[in-house]
Amino acid sequence: MAEIVKKGTKSMGRYHYVFPKWSNMLLPAALAGGAIVPLYVVLVVAYGFSPETTDVGYQPHQPVPFSHKLHAGELGMDCRYCHNTVERANHAAIPPTQTCMNCHTQIHKDSIKIRPLLESYLEGTPVTWRRVHDLPDFVYFSHRAHVIRGVSCVECHGRIDRMEIVTQVKRLSMGWCLECHRAPDIHLRDPRLVTKLGWGNDMSDEDKLAQGTIWRETNDLNPSQDCSTCHR
């Protein structure tokens, strides 16, 4: 199986400090100068608007320069070829090296970009892909619950099929989840179209809303806002 590195672990080089590390050094100076309040404000503003707190724009570099733009976009591979548990499990599986080697034992096998993949294959060690999206552990989330009910990947991950490097585009905050749970219609489509990310781009908002309402009614959908739905 492929390995996914948790956010906040050492190899990610990314910790969830309340304040950036360097602020520790400023603290004694600030206390001495009685400047704690203004400093606090500056830190909160500076840190509060950085990508680390909202996570939007978070884009870790990966050990193999794998491009969704090429594979899912230009080559037109379906998301489920690689993320094959997305319709039946909470988590969407990251493909093992073997999946890549279905093609890359032949294609570009001598390329320097493929080398780490080849090493992983020959040594039987998984590629340590870095996690991009990561909810706190106290949140319950299920891919299956969304995907089989007609919520497309694009609603939560954006145009992955145009990304050279995967970037987080939505906040994944509680407010964001609830916004859709309160009014899902505009975000719904025929469940068979969930991996067609460009679908509906040529439709007006009214048409999109109208067809979404049909899917909600025919499938009797009613996304819950109860705390226990997402915090169990």
Instruction: State the minimum distance, in angstroms, from the CB of residue 132 to ligand HEC.
Output: 3
Q: Please identify, using beta-carbon distances, which residue of 30 and 83 lies nearer to ligand HEC.
A: 83
Instruction: State the minimum distance, in angstroms, from the CB of residue 28 to ligand HEC.
Output: 29
Of the residues 120, 177, 189, 211, which one makes contact with ligand HEC according to CB under 6 A: 177
* Contact between 149 and 221 (Cβ < 8 Å): yes
- Fill in the per-residue mask, 137 to 176: x = in contact with ligand HEC (CB under 6 A), - = not in contact: --xxxxx-xxx-x-x-x-xxx--xx----x-----xxx--
* Contact between 10 and 136 (Cβ < 8 Å): no
Of the residues 11, 136, 204, 218, which one makes contact with ligand HEC according to CB under 6 A: 136
Q: Which of residues 95-124 bind ligand HEC (CB under 6 A)?
A: 95, 99-100, 102-104, 107-108, 111, 113-114, 117
Q: Is residue 189 near ligand HEC by the rule CB under 6 A?
A: no
- The contacts of residue 152 (CB under 8 Å, 6+ apart) are 187, 189, 193, 194, 195, 196, 197, 199
Instruction: State the minimum distance, in angstroms, from the CB of residue 10 to ligand HEC.
Output: 17
Tokens of 130: 């870095």
Q: Which of residues 67-96 bind ligand HEC (CB under 6 A)?
A: 68, 70-72, 75, 77, 79, 81-83, 86, 91-92, 94-95
* Contact between 101 and 107 (Cβ < 8 Å): no
Q: Please identify, using beta-carbon distances, which residue of 33 and 49 lies nearer to ligand HEC.
A: 49
Long-range contacts of 122-126 (CB under 8 A, 24+ apart): 126/1, 126/2, 126/3, 126/96, 126/97
**CA angle (170, 211, 147) in 5-degree steps:** 45
Separation of CA 230 from chain center = 17
Instruction: State the minimum distance, in angstroms, from the CB of residue 127 to ligand HEC.
Output: 7
Q: Which amino acid would we find at residue 27?
A: L
